[in-house]
A and B are shown apart, each in its own frame.
Chain A
Amino acid sequence: MLYREAGQFKTTYAEDMAIFPIRQDRIALAILLGIAFIGVPLLADFDIWPFGSDYLLRAILLPFLILALAAIGVNILVGYCGQITLGSGAFMAIGAYSAYKFGTGVHIPLAWLGFAISIPPLPVPTSILLGGLMAAIAGILFGIPSLRIKGLYLAVATLAAQFFFDWVFLRVPWFTNYAPSGSVNAPALNFFGLHVGTPIERYLLCLIFVTVFAVLAKNLVRGNLGRQWMAIRDMDIAAELIGIRPLYAKLTAFAVSSFIIGVAGALWAFVYLGSWEPLAFSIDRSLQLLFMVIIGGLGSIMGSFVGAAFILILPIMLNLIPTQLGVPLSTETITHLEFIIFGSLICYLLIKEPHGFARLISIGKEKLRLWPFPY
């Protein structure tokens, strides 16, 4: 009843091609953004439960936003272009370590040429974006094999990227500025003269990045480029026959996806962790991101958010429930229970709905349109 588009006439081409053609969707999104941008900071400011504590912002919302951004990146490659990747953790690491290098000053001594390349420390926003750029370049390099190999074989090739970069950041002390322990500290977070320190400032910063990149990604995937990717995903030979260049389509998908993942990696390191080691971007992270995309829904920007929430927040909630209810269980039992329940939920969900949460949401929308007599 509320969700019905009858009577919404589109009188211009622009309206017809709008990103959200249905008015109710636009309103819902506006409310969501309003809550995220204004509501949460206000609630936090007035110390209203549960937003008043650092815990929700620093330990739940912040990682959720950053991993959702990374999931969008993975979704572009896996969901839209159909290229399976197991190397997304590595691209996050490239983003993080490049941003770190740019943020603390790059110095490459070229002794045999008699000079050195020196870049002074760059401001944090520039470093983060340059981190994304470096990840994009690495993504293109590791995307080249995708022209020849497909499916699981490509997944193995991207796995090589994962292990290679793990090794590089562990073994090449230049990347960690010769830190004795191999653990590096992010530079102070100064954005255009403002110091981003409190949890709410960090949250807003990530929110801005996520919103901008989500809108960009949404627009990319429904435009020319996105259609090329989807054509390649659905049938690459047919796509080639109708004039899509696989080289261009695949490599742009790798570049855009790696760029977003790289920015997410830089944010993860700078804004969330503050101090990190390569283990933060291990193969576990790659698999976690892939699961987010599969559970959330392949080929859906919205799904990336839901998937990130499911994979990241649900285990934390499961872990908290027993203590909160005062059930006397030891921590190891709680942790084992968390694994069991979370694992069975994933199995159940994928049996019931193999296309993930995005499909559930679209079914829900269809039913809403026919409400009160859905079929």
Chain B
Amino acid sequence: MLRNKLMLAAAILSGGAFASPAAAQNEQFVPILSYRTGAYAVNGVPYANGVADYYNLINERDGGINGVKLLVEECETGYATDKGVECYERLKGKGPTGAAFINPLSTGITFALTEKTATDKIPIITMGYGRADSKNGAVFAYNFPLLGTYWSAADIAIQHVAKEVGGADKLKGKKISLLYHDSPYGKEPIPMLQVLAKKYGFEFTPIPVTHPGVEQKSQWLSIRQNRPDYVLVWGWGVMNGTAVKEAAAVAFPRDKMIGVWWSGAEPDVQPAGDQAVGYKALMLQHGAGKFPVHADIEKYVYAKGKGASEPDKVGEVLYNRGMVNAMLGVEGIRKAQEKFGKKPLTGEQVRWGLENLNLSEARLKELGFEGMLKPIKISCSDHEGARDGRVQQWDGKGWKVISDWYTANQSDTEPLVEEVSAKYAADKKIQPRDCSKES
């Protein structure tokens, strides 16, 4: 009896640091770092649901990736860096081959993990967030800021402003403010916007908002005094909704606000009600809405009662983003299986798959993502893969796409990427890989 109790205690204390030996060997472990509690839960929940549902779909519909089932475990980070690091340590060694990749969904956690993941040889996928300089895969071999970095986002936002004011030459003398979450996430676009301000001659003012962002009175007072022509919003969680409400309170026109793609989902505008009408936000390619893949999710996941979300929230912006994120990771594993065999793979092998990922129009159609994404091709020197975006506007009921596609201007972003990543390589004594020799 006592021995049983001791064994139970030991099992509890083992702390999940080990996969249980009974786990099937033909499984690929995929961790989910999510936040369903705290100040950022409004955005964290739909995203995590999208990720979980897509992994579930792969298991239910296809029986895994080429027969290798996905073994998924979620860990709550609460958007806190130290908890994120703890979660990473907890999950990285699970499953027969360890974590395939990690999606921290927090730029702060990404910064904290960048060095650790390179040592542990686990790719870190930061789709639409993370360090912008990690686009340079020669230095950041294990970082994948897929689909767009914040520097690309800043460039796209300024392109749209230029179009609205009637051309890039009209930007001269305009005032553009950046209302940003005071963390690595919000600070990331600043150097790019400074470069663009110099290039086009607009006046750029960064305005920080402290975590969690419910207190923005003084920021909006200064915006009212300064009267900028546009306010870019780099917010997350409750900060977004608050920004929209405060803008209404000081009568700043909502259609002169442009949120980044993390400030353009339903939970960001719905709490503000009618005050949010006219608010614009960038799209990380996709927007809200249902596509062929959603039909499969409803058929194979929700019909069996295994869905993570409330069914009416399927197809929301962040839900879709979680799905896209999960899909890119899964396709990375699939690509790696072509080279290393149809078995559970290590993080190092999955890294190769991600770096050689090439999703054509036809393949996206096969996957059911046609219309959500443009083709994406990753390479050693370009871990971003694609840098396209559109602009959407909230009409009180839904998001409407109001622009054509923009592509971030690489001639603007590239010098900064080179400069900052070279500095990182020098600081960390990393010998950049020669991308012409990678295959």
Measured CB to CB, the residues of A under 8 A from B are: 49-50, 53-56, 58-60, 63, 170, 180-183, 185, 187-188, 197, 273-277, 279-280, 282, 316-317, 319-321, 323-325, 330-332, 334-336
> Which of B74, B89, B208 sits near A54, CB closer than 8 Å?
B89
CB < 8 Å: which of B36, B107, B183 contacts A332?
B36
Closest Cβ of chain A to B141, distance in Å, is 16
* Chain B residues, Cβ within 8 Å of A323: 16, 73
The answer to whether A55 touches B112 (Cβ under 8 A) is no
CA distance A38 to B278 in the complex (A): 65
Taken together as a complex, chains A and B put the C-alpha atoms of A300 and B89 apart, in Å, by 32
7 contacts between A and B (CB under 8 A): A58-B89, A63-B82, A277-B183, A323-B73, A324-B11, A331-B34, A335-B78
- Report which of A170, A277, A324, A331 forms a contact with B111, defined as CB distance below 8 A: A277
Q: How far is the CB of B126 from chain A (nearest CB, A)?
A: 13
Contacting residue for A279 out of B78, B108, B428, CB 8 A: B108
A100 to B211, CA, bound (A): 24
Indicate if B272 sits at the interface (CB-CB under 8 A).
Answer: no
Contacts of A330 in B (CB 8 A): 36
Query: A336 to B182, alpha carbons, bound, how many Å?
Result: 27
B37 touches A336 (CB 8 A): yes
A324 to B14, CA, bound (A): 8
Question: In the complex the two chains form, is B85's CB within 8 Å of A59's CB?
Answer: yes
Contact of A320 among B15, B85, B420, B429 (CB under 8 A): B15
Residue with the highest number of chain B CB atoms closer than 10 Å, among A55, A181, A188: A181
Contact yes or no, A335 B18, CB < 8 A = no
Complex contact B115–A185 (CB within 8 A): yes
User: Across the interface, which residues of A come within 8 angstroms of B73, CB to CB?
Assistant: 323
Which residues of B are at the interface with A, using a C-beta cutoff of 8 A? 11-18, 34, 36-37, 41, 45, 73-76, 78, 81-82, 85-86, 89-90, 92-93, 107-108, 111-112, 114-116, 119, 131, 182-184, 187-188, 190-191, 208, 211, 420, 424, 427-429
Instruction: Assess the A279–B15 pair: CB atoms within 8 A.
Output: no
- Whether the pair B187, A180 counts as a contact (CB closer than 8 A) is yes
Contact call B12/A317, Cβ cutoff below 8 A:
yes
Given contacts A332-B36, A335-B78, contact A183 B11 (CB under 8 A): no
Minimum Cβ distance to chain A for residue B155 (Å): 15
CB pair B190 A55 closer than 8 Å: no
B208 to chain A: which residues have CB within 8 Å? 170
- Kindly state the separation between the CA atoms of A182 and B111 in the bound complex, as whole angstroms: 10
Those 5 A-B pairs whose CB atoms lie nearest each other, nearest first: A332-B36, A59-B89, A55-B17, A181-B184, A183-B111
In the complex, chain A residues whose CB is within 8 Å of the CB of B86 = 59, 316
Q: A188-B429, A274-B115, A331-B34 are in contact. List 11 more A-B contacts (CB 8 A).
A: A50-B15, A55-B90, A59-B85, A180-B188, A181-B187, A187-B427, A273-B85, A275-B112, A277-B184, A320-B12, A323-B73
Complex: A319 Cα to B74 Cα, angstroms: 12
**Cβ–Cβ contact A331 & B89, under 8 A:** no
> Does the CB pair A325–B187 fall under 8 Å?
no
Return the chain A residue nearest B38 by Cβ. A335
Assembled-state Cα–Cα distance A55/B208 (Å): 36
Q: A320-B12, A323-B73, A324-B14 are in contact. Are A277 and B81 (CB under 8 A)?
A: yes
The distance from the CB of A372 to the nearest CB of chain B, in whole angstroms, is 21
Query: Which A residues lie within 8 Å of B119 (CB)?
Result: 197
Q: Which residues of A contact B41 (CB under 8 A)?
A: 332
Residues of A within 8 A of B76 (CB): 319, 331-332, 334-335
Give which listed residue, A275, A321, A332, contacts B115 with CB less than 8 A. Answer: A275
